[in-house]
A and B are shown apart, each in its own frame.
Chain A
Amino acid sequence: MGEIRPVYLEDKLKEVEDSGRLDYRSKALPTWCPGCGYFSIVEAVATALCELGIPNENAVMVSGIGCSSRFPFFINTYGIHTLHGRALPSALGVKTANPALTVVAVGGDGDGFAIGGGHVPHAARRNLDITYLLFDNGIYGLTKGQTSPTSAIGFKTPTSPYANPDRPLNPLLMLLSYGASWVGQSYAGDPEHLRSMVRQALEHRGFSYLHILSPCVTFDKTHRTYVNLGMQVHPLPATHDPADKLAAMGEAMKNEQAPAVGLYYREQRPTLDDALDALVEKAGGEKRGLRGGRGRKLR
């Protein structure tokens, strides 16, 4: 048995300060309920942006509406907090206008798969070069706990007081079939894993989809709790090959029993930016160095 060394708060604070990742946290403190899984996502994104050395002004956080969609307010970059369900098409505009930006779309399960569900396939198939972080709590948090498209069958909520009659979607399987070029899953209760997955997602060139399981501690006391998720969540088998799409789909289907975290699938293929640049070349046009900012250079 090794010697137990005390951890001093001062040392820890200094370590955090020196890391520089606080520069990526805005002055606004998150308004989420204490214990909400989303806190660790803010930390993971701030850390990843810092580690990757992306200047604050060159990143844009784009969100819809929901507890999760408050996210841009807590990160010190540019941000758009748009409408319920519209994070992805808004991100399409930002990235297309200025491809040099690092664009991250975030939102909840309702935002992404109910009202905004029609946009997901298109962002994925175009290989829009952004990262989409889906905060899945299986519930509508902001509107106080109604059923969502990822709620379990039988789940009781104010809008399904007897039992939710609908089966939940399988987002990982959907994204794989939609043609996302990077598909992964992580868990807000495992900050280390989350940090590393967010960083990989940001590093991927193309549409990276990270599904983050996160408990709503206020409105879900029975299903997606830390206790339950802690017991269910397990890593993908070490043998899983992220280049094998069929295997990835197989693993995604197993999620319906117990969720496995890790990288499901990754491929490299031309992005929407590449395709649009190719059109310019085909038309004999001159590629503009910069579209956004009209004359303003990045970096």
Chain B
Amino acid sequence: MNTDVQIAIVGSAGDGTIAAGDILRRAMAEIGYRVISFDLYPAEIRGFGKCIARLRVSDEQAYSLKQKSDILVSLDDSHAIPHVGEAREWGAVIYETNSVNPLPEGAHLSAHIDPGQVPYNVPIRELAEKSTGAARSRNIVVVGYIIGLMRLPLEPALRALTGKFKGKGEIAQKNEAALRAGYEEGLRWFRLDDIEFGPPPAQERGAHLEMINGNAAIVRGALDAGIDTFFGYPITPATSIMERLASEMPKRGARLVQTEDEIAAISATLGAGFAGARAATATSGPGLSLMAEMLGFGVIAEVPSVVFVSQRGGPSTGMPTKHEQSDLNMAVFGGHGDAPRIVIAPTNVEGCYRCAGRAFEMAEAYQTPVIVLLDLYLSNRYETVPFPDRPPFEADTNRYADTRGGAAGFQRYVLTADGVSPRSTPGQPGGMHVATGLEHNELGRPNDQPDMHLAQSRKRHEKLKAALRHPGFEPAKRFGDTGAVDVGLVAWGSSFGECLEAMYLAQEEGIRCAALKVLMISPFPVEMATSFLADCKEVLVPEVNYQGQFAGILQMQVPRAVTRMTRIPCAPMRVEEILDEIRRLAGRVVEPQAA
């Protein structure tokens, strides 16, 4: 039996909607299911304080949410009514018997349920009041109700509840009472045959499952890779990376400083990298713009450094709380001069962890700035991640120079076969040199002769190619049908999840379909992309920006016609839309969507 259930809870800001979703997803993760979850907060939605918590529970890690939810809960009918259609046919719609305020005709959710949807009319408020003496715990009642209705064990939810409101005495007791009241009520009702929770999947050995969001996964990766210093300046949606590091780094004797701006943050990061530290900063588009000049310095002076970038709507201040993937060009090309750098973009939360750790390895191994590109959706979305019990990252990937007896002057930028010059760090006798942003010779002395400029430019470009074969890192990966396909999707970053979902649905409809996930965008995995594209009759490149920035890079590297699918809905791309595009490219007739 396969478990694949999506639950959506709709309410207004004061209802504890997000908290209910959080308890539920933690409980599901504790039972052992895999979860993916993304919330919408008032700041992200037009209107008055509407909140939606969505979680998809399955036995294999899902890559995106589904278009339709199996269970839809209303904590506030005025907000939930427009979303009733989100519940699938034969899906459950759970709502309040007696609204908090008397409602005019038609304002009650019951009037909007489609035939085919299964209504669950629950006295949520009454249960809350009876069990706790107040209506406040309606959200907790609902959590209990769903767990009872689905015949799931209550203990994990209890633990999630105490974990969330730990040590709050009376409140904790009331919450527990509310949870139990909802649970008992749920048990009294017939479970829908159509919505099934099978036994949770077996746990992976040597790993433990945790539910975590993208930014927290970045932090875990950085800590597991032994980050020494972090310098940063707050900016949505990257701030929580810095906030978490601020509490975690001192516990490990590592150092974090909040700088006066992003220019200082990247300068200090490079200063620390020069001194031999594993150094990182985190920012969003506006901060990355400010860092552009200094990143160029990191490239020419060959200083290891890691920059985590979580994109949001742009340009300029743009839309700080909206999702977008429009800083790719900036990350890959930003700044002046020929300034190659490594850019990797994880596609899910587990990927955030791996990319963060590998970024430090790559920065040291190839002596370069490494940008890890996330976006608001990935930063904030929760997934269950099987964390390995032993971190998979190398603690030191430097190539050190032996500088003993080096009286003649240390050749910091000596030309080598693979372009990586053994380095020295301050404190190392005989390794003295100056790292400069001026073009330089092997000694690091300013030099603007054409031969030297060519040799050093070539070195800086060529050395990065080895990153495509970095141990433990796949720069690109193919999914779906093997061999020739009708439609091939090429996708990057968080959009890949929706693409993969759409690909599976297309396959179910009999369309031969495959998807290429591109994790490393600079340097570009040209060979893999070329052989993938050769298999595709039609190529679809969906991404959340106006210009089709990734498609542009793809076509620059592998010239051929592709269909750009660019959408800027200020939210993740819709699976349905991608599926329609696939159908169209496969020559299927596509019904126009109802407005």
Residues on A lying within 8 angstroms of B by beta carbon are 27-28, 55-62, 65, 72-73, 76-83, 86, 88-98, 100-101, 118-119, 121-122, 126, 272, 276, 279-280, 282-288, 291-298
Interchain CA distance A239-B273 in the complex, whole Å? 46
A118 lies within 8 A of B228 (CB) = no
Is B257 in contact with chain A by the CB < 8 A criterion? yes
Is B259 in contact with chain A by the CB < 8 A criterion? yes
B199: chain A residues within 8 A (beta carbon): none
Task: Across the A-B interface, give the 6 residue pairs with the lowest CB-CB distance, nearest first.
Answer: A93-B271, A93-B268, A283-B250, A89-B267, A89-B264, A79-B434
Which of A72, A79, A86, A280 has the largest number of chain B CB atoms within 10 A?
A86
B297 lies within 8 A of A57 (CB) = no
A58 lies within 8 A of B426 (CB) = yes
A100 lies within 8 A of B279 (CB) = no
**Min CB distance, B252 to chain A, in Å?**
6
19 contacts between A and B (CB under 8 A): A56-B432, A73-B436, A73-B446, A83-B293, A88-B264, A93-B268, A96-B255, A97-B228, A97-B229, A97-B277, A97-B279, A98-B276, A118-B264, A122-B260, A292-B272, A294-B228, A294-B395, A296-B276, A297-B427
A60 lies within 8 A of B263 (CB) = no
**Min CB distance, B516 to chain A, in Å?**
36
Of all chain B residues, the one with the shortest Cβ separation from A120 is: B260
A119 lies within 8 A of B264 (CB) = yes
B277: chain A residues within 8 A (beta carbon): 93, 97-98, 291-292, 294
Of all chain A residues, the one with the shortest Cβ separation from B403 is: A57
B446: chain A residues within 8 A (beta carbon): 73
A89: chain B residues within 8 A (beta carbon): 231, 259-260, 263-265, 267-268, 271
A94 lies within 8 A of B426 (CB) = yes
B426 lies within 8 A of A57 (CB) = yes
B252 lies within 8 A of A93 (CB) = no
B257 lies within 8 A of A96 (CB) = yes
A86 lies within 8 A of B427 (CB) = no
- A72/B409 contact (C-beta < 8 A), A90-B268, A98-B427, A293-B428 known: no
- A93/B428 contact (C-beta < 8 A), A283-B250, A285-B251, A291-B254 known: no
- A291/B437 contact (C-beta < 8 A), A73-B445, A82-B297 known: no
**Binary interface profile of B, 405-442, with partner A (CB < 8 Å = 1, else 0)?**
00001000000000000000111111111111110000
A283 lies within 8 A of B297 (CB) = no
B428: chain A residues within 8 A (beta carbon): 57, 293, 296
**Min CB distance, A147 to chain B, in Å?**
23
B435 lies within 8 A of A97 (CB) = no
- A292/B437 contact (C-beta < 8 A), A90-B267, A282-B250 known: no
B257: chain A residues within 8 A (beta carbon): 92, 96, 126, 272, 276
Q: How large is the interface on B (under 10, 10 to 19, 20 to 34, 35 or more residues)?
A: 35 or more
Contact partner of B271 (CB less than 8 A), chosen from A58, A62, A126, is: A62
Is B294 in contact with chain A by the CB < 8 A criterion? yes
**Min CB distance, A196 to chain B, in Å?**
26
Interchain CA distance A90-B281 in the complex, whole Å? 13
**Min CB distance, A74 to chain B, in Å?**
10
B272 lies within 8 A of A93 (CB) = yes
Is B274 in contact with chain A by the CB < 8 A criterion? yes
Is B278 in contact with chain A by the CB < 8 A criterion? yes
**Min CB distance, B409 to chain A, in Å?**
7
Task: Give B301-345 interface residues, CB cut-off 8 Å to A.
Answer: 301
Interchain CA distance A72-B436 in the complex, whole Å? 10
B253 lies within 8 A of A285 (CB) = yes
A82 lies within 8 A of B275 (CB) = no
Of all chain A residues, the one with the shortest Cβ separation from B267 is: A89
A55 lies within 8 A of B435 (CB) = no
A81 lies within 8 A of B435 (CB) = yes
**Min CB distance, B150 to chain A, in Å?**
41
A287: chain B residues within 8 A (beta carbon): 253
- A60/B251 contact (C-beta < 8 A), A83-B293, A92-B259 known: no
B437 lies within 8 A of A81 (CB) = yes
Contact partner of A92 (CB less than 8 A), chosen from B231, B276, B429, B437, is: B231
A93 lies within 8 A of B431 (CB) = no
**Min CB distance, B555 to chain A, in Å?**
33
**Min CB distance, A275 to chain B, in Å?**
10
- A57/B270 contact (C-beta < 8 A), A81-B437, A97-B279 known: no
B132: chain A residues within 8 A (beta carbon): none
Interchain CA distance A247-B432 in the complex, whole Å? 42
B433: chain A residues within 8 A (beta carbon): 78-79
B409: chain A residues within 8 A (beta carbon): 27
Beyond A80-B274, A292-B228, 20 extra complex contacts between A and B, CB < 8 Å = A56-B432, A57-B428, A61-B434, A76-B432, A78-B433, A78-B434, A80-B301, A80-B435, A82-B270, A83-B267, A90-B267, A90-B274, A92-B257, A92-B267, A96-B255, A97-B255, A118-B264, A280-B255, A292-B277, A292-B426
B445 lies within 8 A of A28 (CB) = yes
Contact partner of B275 (CB less than 8 A), chosen from A72, A86, A94, is: A94
**Min CB distance, B360 to chain A, in Å?**
11
B250: chain A residues within 8 A (beta carbon): 276, 279-280, 282-283, 285
A283 lies within 8 A of B247 (CB) = yes
Is B261 in contact with chain A by the CB < 8 A criterion? yes
B267 lies within 8 A of A298 (CB) = no
**Min CB distance, A54 to chain B, in Å?**
12
B272: chain A residues within 8 A (beta carbon): 93-94, 96-97, 292
B155: chain A residues within 8 A (beta carbon): none
Interchain CA distance A78-B303 in the complex, whole Å? 14
A101 lies within 8 A of B427 (CB) = yes
- A81/B438 contact (C-beta < 8 A), A119-B260, A279-B250 known: yes
Task: Give B375-429 interface residues, CB cut-off 8 Å to A.
Answer: 395-396, 398, 409, 425-429
Contact partner of B263 (CB less than 8 A), chosen from A79, A86, A293, A295, is: A86
Of all chain B residues, the one with the shortest Cβ separation from A288 is: B253
A293 lies within 8 A of B437 (CB) = no
B271: chain A residues within 8 A (beta carbon): 62, 80, 82, 89-97
A56: chain B residues within 8 A (beta carbon): 429, 432
B267 lies within 8 A of A93 (CB) = yes
B301: chain A residues within 8 A (beta carbon): 80
**Min CB distance, A157 to chain B, in Å?**
25
Is B347 in contact with chain A by the CB < 8 A criterion? no
- A288/B254 contact (C-beta < 8 A), A89-B267, A283-B247, A296-B428 known: yes
A295: chain B residues within 8 A (beta carbon): 396
Of all chain A residues, the one with the shortest Cβ separation from B266 is: A89
Interchain CA distance A262-B373 in the complex, whole Å? 51
